[in-house]
Each structure stands twice: as structure tokens, then as C-alpha cells.
Amino acid sequence: MDEASRDTEESSSKLRLLCVEDSPADAELEAASLERAGYDVRMERVDCEADLKTALDSRDYDVIFLDHGLPGWDSRVALRIALEAAPQTPVVCVAGTIGEETAVEMLKLGASDYVLKHRTARLPAAVRGVLERAESRRAQDEVETALRASEERYRRIVETAAEGIMTIGSDLTITYYNQRLAEMLGYGVVDLLGRSVRGILMSEDGAFIEEEIARQRRGEAISFQRRLRCADGSGLWASVASRPELDGDGQVAGSLAMISDISDQKAAEERLKQALVGTVAAMGSLVESRDPYTAGHERRSAALVVAIAGELGLDDDALAALDLTARMHDIGQIAVPAEILTRPGPLSPAEFSLIKLHPQVAFDILAPIDFGYPTAEIILQHHERLDGSGYPNGLKGDEIRLEARVLAVADVVEAMSSHRPYRPALGIEAALDEVRTNAGRLYDPDVAAACERVFAAGFTFPD
């Protein structure tokens, strides 16, 4: 989803906008940019200190745009007035030109963001960002206010919370947790007190957790989704948001964590993933049913894609996404007549032109689907070649995604090593010689080398 589409989808409510701007035309352009993104803008413009104070005293706004180049009026003064009168309202500096030092200064003084006037297309994203951060700050402020209340009120709020709550000392020992967290993890109300927080984290997340702990010790707020270790040793998917607690000297004295059980969400995601995998398998079967000679090609190519990508060091999420992508990379052949796909003789130029359409057809089919990965783009590019001789767009070099370069090599190796109606199987050695000989010209040399290594290590295609 592009930025404009995302803004349109997420901006359904009215936006109360105050423009501190001497130019009515500029203010209208800024409002129009937001309206094009789907915001229902209610704008008021002021251009002097008195009008700004009156506007802030008489009504509330969702966001304030502040022209940095106000004639005869220091924008720093305007920013101070806005922050004093409406401390919860984010201020976005909008400037014709602004140096890096000035931009940093305005941000330090309390501005939430800045946008150049010739880049008003960035305004919707900036507004969405500052509103999200403002909402996050308001939520954090509410928690801090509750914690500063009396001990009884604090405990009443914490113990009745729908989320798990935990406090952690500077030495990483658990100093408090509420009943909800005890229920979530299956512990008694005092079982975890005095124990290290590492004890409720899964061992496979060790490196990740140490990095997050180091960030928090530096005074950063952190959030992540990971499995927590329950009392019976099982894992529970949880969303964790933690912020440091500072002592009187501003040093990190511990942290407060909010923990939500997201097991149902993860289970739903897994069901959706399995449904997607099933749909992909059905798509592959549909294509293969029209061309029995390439039955299993996508499945075998996927196995080699995953092996090569793993050799190149791609992470587990990327490997899973590439496996799914490779299993449907020839879905576009559904638009090619079956008699062309299965013809034992040579194809005419016109017939081969039809074959060359299949990456674009696949892209058109898959692009509307959110796979959480650039699946459609990878498939679109898997017949591109480094020297620009590929199709459909004649891309060159780094214009081609790495994942598509991996799929290109796996596709060629599997196809050459398998039987086709117009020739017998050429074998693995001939296929590897093809990518070795043309590495750097047609195929990515690192991918080609990784392919040779996985075969040298014993890789074989699945039956």
C-alpha cells in the first residue's frame, strides 16, 4: 500500500487544523494536500500573536501548522505560545527553506516534525505520524499519572487492568506484577518476585532480549512481540511495551512493562497463513494441470530458492516468504494456451511473446494481495537478467531485487535439469555450468556461487 492510500484509509475523522501562516494560498495548499489524502479538514488561519492566543484560548485543535518564515514575528515565540496553551497538540513546522541546524533547534524546542513547503505531499504522512505519537504520549501520561497517585489507587487500577503489568528493578529483578500477569503465565502472586526477568523470556530469544535490555538501560522505551515462558514451560505470545523509570538524578532505576496476551491474534494469523498456503498450492496445481511436463517445477524450484537464500544469510521470515513466492512464480502461465505450453517443437516468435507475458500476468493477479512481502514484484522480475536482456521490463543489475535474482537461478537450474516436451533433461551439471558460465552477465555471481555450494553440500530436489 502506498503512502497516499494508507492516509486515505486511515483518515476518516475530522481534522481540526490551526495554520499559523501569513499566506492564505499556502494555508489552502496545505489543507488541500491533507484533503486529498482523505482527511476532513476544518482549518483556521492566524497570522499574528494576538490571533494565535485567541484561537488557542477559544477552541481545541488536533494539529498546528507553523510557518517558520513568519514576517516580523519569531516562529520560536509562536511555538512557545502554542506549546504553553496546548501542550498536547502536536506542532508541525512548515517552511519554504530551513537549514538542518534550525530544524533540529525547532524539534528540540518542542516541534513534532517539519515539512518543506515544496514537499507538501509529505504532509499527510507527517500528520499521521505526529498524531500517533501524540496519542502514544497521552497514553503514557495517563499511566504515569496513575502511578503517581496513592498506593491504594495505584494498586486498584493495576490489579483490575486488562493487561499484565510488571515493574523491574535496575538489576533486572521483578519487583512487582499484577494478578492479570500471574493468570496469563500461570504463576502465583509472589512466585516471580525477586527473580530475573530473563526467567520469563524464551531462551531462543536471548540475543534479541539482551539488545532490548541494553536499549532500556540507555533510557529508551521499547516494544516487541515475543513468546513468554509460562510456569509449565510452554510459551505464550505476548505484546510487550516497556518504558524506563528514572530516579531523581535522571538515571534509569528500573522499568514498567505492559504485557498483552496476543495468542488469539497469532493463532488467527497462523490460520490465515495456512489458508494462504492452501490457496497458493491450489493456484500451482491449476497451472500444473495445464502442463504436466512442468508438474512439480514450482515446488522443486521453491526448495532450491530456500536453500540458496539460506546460504546467502537471509532470515527465517524471508525464507518462508520466498518459499511461498517460488511456489506460485509461474501462475501467469494460466494465460498461455495449453497447446503452446506442451508443444514438443519450437515456438514461433509470436508464441514465445505469449510465454513472455506470464510474469506480468502473475503480477497483475497477485499485486492486490497483501502477502506481507514483495511477492508480486519478485515474480514479475524472475526472468530479468543482469545485462538487461531479460523480460518483461529489461531491468539491469541492482534494478532487479535480490530475491528475484535468487529465483531466476533456481528456476533455470530446475528447468534445465528436468524433462521438457521439446528436449530431454539436461542434468544438474549442465544446469550449474549454465549459471556458472553466465554469472555476472545474466545471473548474480553471488547467487550462482551460493547455488553451487548448496549442491556441493548435498542438496537434491524433492521428489
Q: Write the pLDDT tens digit of every residue in 89-111.
A: 999 998 877 777 888 888 899 99
List b or e across 143-166, with b for residues whose CB sees 16 or more CB atoms inside 10 angstroms: beeeeeeeeeeeeeebeebebbbb
Q: Which of these CATH numbers, 1.10.10.60, 1.10.3210.10, 3.40.50.150, 1.10.760.10, describes 266-456?
A: 1.10.3210.10
Helix, strand and coil in the chain, % to nearest 5: 55, 15, 30
Give the DSSP letter string of 138-156: HHHHHHHHHHHS-HHHHHH
Q: How many other CB atoms sit within 10 Å of the CB of residue 460?
A: 10
Query: So what's the pLDDT on residue 98?
Result: 74
Query: So what's the pLDDT on residue 205?
Result: 67
Query: So what's the pLDDT on residue 402?
Result: 95
- Domain parsing of the chain, residue ranges: 3-145, 152-261, 266-456
Distances (CA, A) of 451 to 211, 312, 323, 407, 412: 33, 9, 16, 11, 11
List b or e across 191-212, with b for residues whose CB sees 16 or more CB atoms inside 10 angstroms: ebeeeebeebbeeebeeebeeb
Element (H, E) at 77: helix 75-85
Query: So what's the pLDDT on residue 157?
Result: 66
Counting DSSP H helices and E strands in the chain, the numbers are 19, 10
Query: So what's the pLDDT on residue 349?
Result: 80
Do 150 and 110 meet the contact criterion of CB atoms below 8 Å apart?
Answer: no
Q: Which of these CATH numbers, 3.30.450.20, 3.40.50.2000, 3.40.1000.10, 3.30.300.10, describes 152-261?
A: 3.30.450.20
Query: So what's the pLDDT on residue 305?
Result: 96
Q: Which residue has the cell 494539529?
A: 63
Measured over the CA atoms of residue 356, residue 361, residue 367 and residue 372, the dihedral's sign is negative
Query: So what's the pLDDT on residue 11?
Result: 43
**pLDDT > 90: percent of the chain:** 34
Just give the CATH number of 3-145.
3.40.50.2300
Element (H, E) at 39: none
Query: So what's the pLDDT on residue 450?
Result: 96
Query: So what's the pLDDT on residue 437?
Result: 95
Q: How many other CB atoms sit within 10 Å of the CB of residue 247?
A: 10
Comparing CA positions, the residue from 12, 28, 1 lying closest to residue 120 is 28
Q: Which residue has the cell 535522571?
A: 250
Residue 135 in grid coordinates: 496519542
Query: So what's the pLDDT on residue 421?
Result: 62
Over its length of 463 residues, how does the chain's per-residue pLDDT go in tens digits?
A: 444 444 444 445 689 999 999 889 989 998 999 998 889 999 999 999 999 999 999 989 999 999 888 888 888 899 999 999 999 899 999 887 777 788 888 889 999 888 888 888 888 998 998 888 888 888 887 777 766 655 566 666 667 778 898 888 888 889 988 889 999 999 998 898 998 888 888 876 677 778 877 887 788 888 888 889 899 989 899 998 988 888 878 888 888 889 999 988 888 877 777 777 777 677 767 766 666 666 578 889 999 999 999 999 998 889 988 998 998 888 888 877 766 766 666 777 887 777 788 899 989 988 888 787 899 999 999 999 999 999 999 999 999 999 999 999 999 999 888 866 666 778 899 999 999 999 999 999 999 999 999 999 999 998 7
